[in-house]
């Protein structure tokens, strides 16, 4: 694919977690994943309005990054409690996936942690048997996939971890129709349509009280920079919109921020105005937020 036809989404810049208690998220991530706080503050009104979440104004937030201090971040924003939220039972951003050095060593460490291990390390099997992953639930009911490449081939699809627990590299989207999701991201952002697959996803089946043998439709789309992907999982139509406090961000795995070359070239419906913010996430560059096919919030920042 030449540069002219490259996807407009470049890379995953930020995974945003919306939490009732951001201090607990900081404690867990810094203690057990070696993510460090690089910024604290309060969300300003212009940024909150750009998300179409006006009641996020003046809410505290913090930004974490891997120990390598890469400019890839996990942002944690304070929201009020959402009583009816159960992870992996509603549409939208379902899980965030981090690249790690050795998932089996990390598993031994996290067995002593407050993270809830919902899927122990295992190979993905088949053509992807070199990829080994585990899944945990964090303090905000966010789901993390922690993944390593056991072969570490030079031409691997996975990025090389620059720390024991590295950067986000896959974001996982739950949808009722994966063909429609593909069409949305291909038409709006020039992503390449890939062949779907059918597979067991035990952690989701368990959350949805389905047999572990239940088969899900799923697929991947690559962004323009190597080692950045969107995964999409097909949910039954019994699962719908995520419960959310009016005027606030969705709970758990809340929003994803992608980099783009220019906001002006995008043909998409935005939920708010373009803003410039001095947070380390934006460094004064323009950002704007759109809604995806399932209602997921897609924040876009120019780089």
Distance between CA atoms of residues 196 and 211, nearest Å: 22
Tell me what pLDDT residue 1 has: 43
280 burial type by CB count under 10 A (0-12 exposed, 13-18 middle, 19+ buried): middle
278 falls in which pLDDT band (50, 70, 90)?
very high
Q: Tokens 């043909």, residue?
A: 267
Give pLDDT tens digits for 211-268: 989 999 999 999 999 999 999 999 999 999 999 999 999 999 999 999 999 999 999 9
Asked whether the CA dihedral 40, 45, 46, 47 is positive or negative, the reply is positive
Q: Average pLDDT in the 26-42 region?
A: 97
Indicate if the pLDDT at residue 13 is higher than 90.
yes
* Long-range CB contact pairs, 150-157, < 8 A, 24+: 150/123, 156/130, 157/227
Query: Cα–chain-centroid distance for residue 89?
Result: 16
Q: Residues in the chain, how many?
A: 303
Three-state DSSP class for residue 120: strand
pTM over 0.75: yes
User: Does the pLDDT value for residue 2 go beyond 60?
Assistant: no
Alpha-helical (H) ranges within the chain are 22-32, 45-50, 103-110, 178-189, 202-207
**Residue 276: both structure tokens together:** 């410039």
Question: Which pLDDT score, from 0 to 100, does residue 19 have?
Answer: 98
| Mean pLDDT confidence for 191-197 | 86
Q: Cα–Cα distance between 39 and 29 in angstroms, integer?
A: 14
Residue with tokens 């050095």: 101
Q: Are 51 and 273 in contact (CB under 8 A)?
A: no
Distances (CA, A) of 251 to 19, 141, 248: 6, 8, 9
Residue 4: pLDDT above 80?
no
Can you tell me the distance from the alpha carbon of 251 to that of 263, in angstroms, rounded to the nearest whole number?
26
- For 101-105, 113-117, 193-197, 293-297, which range has the lowest pLDDT when averaged over its residues? 193-197
pLDDT band at 3 (very low <50, low <70, confident <90, very high): low
| C-alpha–C-alpha distance, residues 111 and 285, integer Å | 40
Tens of pLDDT along 38-89?
999 999 999 999 999 999 999 999 999 998 888 999 999 999 999 999 999 9
Residue 99: pLDDT band with limits 50, 70, 90: very high
pLDDT of 157: 82
Residues 296, 235: contact at Cβ < 8 Å?
no
């Amino acid at each position: 694919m030449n540069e002219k036809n490259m996807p407009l989404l470049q890379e995953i810049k930020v995974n945003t977690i919306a939490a009732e208690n951001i201090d607990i998220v900081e404690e867990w991530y810094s203690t057990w994943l070696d993510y460090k706080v690089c910024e604290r503050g309060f969300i300003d009104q212009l940024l909150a309005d750009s998300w179409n979440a006006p009641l996020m104004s003046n809410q505290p937030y913090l930004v974490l990054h891997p120990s390598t201090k890469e400019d890839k971040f996990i942002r944690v924003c304070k929201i009020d409690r959402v009583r009816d939220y159960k992870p992996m039972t509603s549409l939208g951003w379902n899980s965030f996936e981090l690249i790690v050095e050795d998932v089996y060593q990390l598993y031994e460490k996290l067995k002593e942690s407050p993270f809830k291990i919902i899927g122990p390390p295992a190979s993905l099997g088949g053509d992807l048997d070199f990829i080994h992953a585990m899944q945990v639930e964090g303090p905000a009911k966010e789901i993390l996939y922690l993944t390593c490449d056991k072969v570490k081939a030079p031409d691997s699809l996975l990025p090389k971890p620059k720390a024991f627990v590295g950067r986000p590299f896959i974001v996982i989207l739950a949808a009722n129709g994966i063909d429609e999701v593909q069409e949305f991201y291909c038409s709006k952002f020039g992503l390449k349509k890939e062949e779907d697959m059918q597979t067991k996803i035990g952690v989701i089946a368990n959350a949805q009280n389905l047999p572990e043998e239940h088969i899900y439709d799923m697929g991947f789309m690559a962004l323009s920079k190597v080692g950045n992907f969107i995964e999409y999982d097909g949910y039954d139509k019994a699962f719908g919109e995520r419960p959310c406090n009016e005027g606030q961000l969705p709970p758990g795995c809340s929003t994803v921020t992608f980099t783009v070359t220019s906001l002006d070239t995008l043909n998409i419906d935005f939920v708010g105005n373009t803003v410039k913010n001095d947070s380390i996430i934006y460094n004064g560059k323009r950002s704007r937020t759109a809604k995806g096919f399932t209602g997921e919030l897609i924040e876009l920042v120019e780089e």
